[in-house]
Amino acid sequence: MERTLSIIKPDGVKKNIIGEVIKRFQDEKINIVAIKMIKLSKEEAKGFYAVHMERPFFDSLTNFMTSGPIVVMVLEGNDVIARNRKLMGATNFKEADEGTIRKDFATDIEKNVVHGSDAPETAAFEISYFFNALEIAG
Ligand code: CMP
- For the stretch 27-41, pLDDT in tens is 999 999 999 999 999
Ligand 1 atom closest to the Cα of residue 118 is: 2
Closest CA to ligand 1's atom 11: 110
- Residue 1's identity, in one-letter code, is M
Residue 25 half-sphere exposure toward CB, CA atoms < 13 A: 27
Question: For position 98, what pLDDT does the model report?
Answer: 98
CA atoms of 72 and 131, how far apart (whole Å): 9
CA distance 27 to 20: 10
How would you classify the pairing of strands 31-38 and 114-116? unpaired
The residues annotated with a catalytic role in the active site are: 115
CA 92 to ligand 1 centroid distance, Å: 8
Tens digits of residue pLDDT in 42-53: 999 999 999 999
Q: pTM above 0.95?
A: yes
Q: Is the CB of 110 under 6 A from ligand 1?
A: yes
Ligand 1 center from residue 20 Cα (angstroms) = 22
